[in-house]
Amino acid sequence: MEDYLLYHYPLCPLSRKVRFLLNELSVRHGLVEIKPWERNVRAMELNPPEGEIPILLVKRDGNYAVVDSFVIAEYLVSLNATTLLPRSEREKAEVRKIEMWFDKKFYNEASLVILRERVYNSLVYPHLSIDTKELKESEKRLNYHLAYLNTLLNGRKWFAGEKFSLADITAAAQLSSLDYLGEIQWDKYRNVKNWYLVVKSRPSFASILTDVIPGFKPYKYYDKFDF
Amino acid sequence: MEDYLLYHYPLCPLSRKVRFLLNELSVRHGLVEIKPWERNVRAMELNPPEGEIPILLVKRDGNYAVVDSFVIAEYLVSLNATTLLPRSEREKAEVRKIEMWFDKKFYNEASLVILRERVYNSLVYPHLSIDTKELKESEKRLNYHLAYLNTLLNGRKWFAGEKFSLADITAAAQLSSLDYLGEIQWDKYRNVKNWYLVVKSRPSFASILTDVIPGFKPYKYYDKFDF
């Protein structure tokens, strides 16, 4: 039997981060799909009052929930032998800084609005038209952020430190959700593209590349290695 | 000489969290005031590209910056002997959950808009009138969140676990900024009021109660113990 149950939504970048991490650590887990736009009683019970995902249900010590993608990552990394978070406090802070930047800034300013306008809203209100102004503004911010990320990767293999870390997991989770929708112009950001190609090849990432959202075909390069 | 330099703004709740924590841990530090609405070259250099505060400059190993209030808190707690973060991973996750809820949800939905409309905007554009609709909506969300916090404290002395923790520091930092502006109707939230009274009495919190923002007198009960 698995030790964990993850309440998630396939395209949610914060959920993807935890899925990618669970695979990377080879931690056995089950998945329960939650639609972020619906009120789900079980999710609200596990993470009151609003039931926000991702939620990691730990199936021991009488079952308990760990919530928030950043907090879940800290939890899982502490309980498993891994170099995904470096040893020194200074290097840890570098990894966490990138993680937090994605969790807060990139997510709020780019991913969340794009996902809401292009996917969530259209599933909830099929006849509602997209708020083009909001979407365009988020896409502009997305490109601004991608240009910054491209600079960050100048002469560096990973986003923080010498090794593949939680920072790279967090970044790949966010970018892959937007890539599913064809939002990333890879050729404009060569450093990011080269980095993503390496991350994409990890076996732990494979299940994310097979995600299919009913009604939304993945963009043509989504699961390809020559894009 | 002090070991740290904190780039902060007195009313910024995320900066307050770090100040309160530094005092609580008796860590010697200097303070540099940064106005969040201005582009500050030094802040942008330490936390590129936008120079967001708080920034903790560590004055050793060639000087380096630790950024994001949550990440700074993890950093400081790891380097000091303290019970502000409990030992077990399960209890740690409980404390971090509350912290993150304040850092993301409470800050974005309540504190940030109220501070922007009532303080930041009026300092930058003295003749601009307040966006009353935005402010009213944030105040409504503030009261919704306070009601939830009041429930959380039913029969509990602290926000997470058996001891005063990072969760309480984070909560007090956010609430005190809004209290400076007279935004908290304490008598509607008795559990929160009783909890705040205890936190407010800690010597480590005293310097926060003497803050004065030019042009904004603190609300009449701000530094009082009978409110």
Give the pLDDT confidence score for residue A129 in this predicted structure.
Answer: 84
Give the pLDDT confidence score for residue A18 in this predicted structure.
Answer: 98
What tens digit of pLDDT does each residue of B22-74 get? 999 999 999 999 999 999 999 999 999 999 999 999 999 999 999 999 999 99
The contacts of residue B73 (CB under 8 Å, 6+ apart) are: B17, B18, B21, B99, B166, B169, B170
Q: How far is B67 from chain A (nearest CA, A)?
A: 6
Mutate to test the interface with B, among A90, A99, A109 (most CBs of B within 10 A): A90
Do strands A29-33 and B64-67 pair parallel, antiparallel, or not at all (unpaired)? Answer: unpaired
Which residue, chain included where needed, has tokens 């989504």? A222
User: What CA–CA distance (Å, rounded) separates A104 from A97?
Assistant: 10
Is the CB of residue B130 less than 8 Å from the CB of residue B122?
yes
Question: What crossing angle do the helices spanning A166-180 and A89-100 adopt, rounded to 10°?
Answer: 10
Reported ipTM exceeds the 0.90 cut:
yes
Q: How far is A7 from chain B (nearest CA, A)?
A: 16
Give the pLDDT confidence score for residue B41 in this predicted structure.
Answer: 96
**pLDDT value at A189 more than 90:** yes
Q: What is the mean pLDDT of residues A131-138?
A: 94
Question: Which of the four pLDDT bands, split at 50, 70 and 90, describes residue B131?
Answer: confident
Average pLDDT score, chain B: 95
Residue A100: list chain B partners with CB under 8 A: 68, 70-71
Residue B104: list chain A partners with CB under 8 A: 68, 104
**pLDDT value at A78 more than 90:** yes
State the CB neighbour count (10 A cutoff) for residue B151: 13
Average pLDDT score, chain A: 95
Q: Which residue of B has its CA nearest to A49?
A: B148
Q: Which residue of B has its CA nearest to A94?
A: B66
Q: Where does A2-148 show beta strands of DSSP type E?
A: 4-8, 29-33, 55-58, 64-67
Question: Which of the four pLDDT bands, split at 50, 70 and 90, describes residue B130?
Answer: confident
Task: For chain B, list residues whose CB is within 8 angstroms of any CB belonging to chain A.
Answer: 49, 58, 61, 64, 66-68, 70-72, 74-75, 78-79, 89-90, 92-93, 96-97, 100-101, 104, 108, 148
